[in-house]
Amino acid sequence: MGAAGHKSGFAALLGRPNVGKSTLLNRLTGEKLAIVSPKPQTTRRRILGVVTRYEGQVAFVDTPGVHQAKGALNKMMVEQALSAADECDLVLFVIEAEGQKEGREVTIGEGNRFILSRLKASGKPTLLLINKIDTVKRVLLLPLIDRYRTEFPFAEVLPVSARESLGIDELWQAVVRHMPEAPPMYDADMLTDQAERTLVEELVREQILRHCRQELPYSTAVVVDVFDESEREPQKGKTNKKSGLQGLVRIGAHIFVERESQKAIVVGRRGQMLKTIGTDARKAIERLLRANVYLALQVKVEPRWSERHEALRKMGYGQEG
Q: Mean pLDDT in each 10-residue stretch from start to end of the chain (321 residues)? A: 77 92 94 82 84 95 78 77 87 85 77 92 94 89 92 96 95 96 94 92 93 74 95 67 81 95 93 97 94 97 90 74 35
Residue 320 confidence (pLDDT): 40
Q: How far apart are the first and last CA of the chain?
A: 43
Contacts of 189 (CB under 8 A, 6+ apart): none
152 strand-pairing partners: none
- In contact, 118 and 82? CB cutoff 8 Å: yes
How much is the pTM? 0.86
Tell me the domain boundaries of the chain. Answer: 3-177, 196-314
| Nearest-angstrom CA–CA distance, 47 and 32 | 11
| Per CATH, domain 196-314 is 3.90.1300.10 | no
- pLDDT in the model for residue 68: 67
Looking at residue 278, what is its pLDDT? 97
The dihedral of CA 12, 14, 19, 22: what is its sign?
A: positive
Position 240 scores a pLDDT of: 57
Residue 87 and residue 266: Cα distance in Å, rounded?
Answer: 38
Q: 3-177: CATH homologous superfamily?
A: P-loop containing nucleotide triphosphate hydrolases (3.40.50.300)
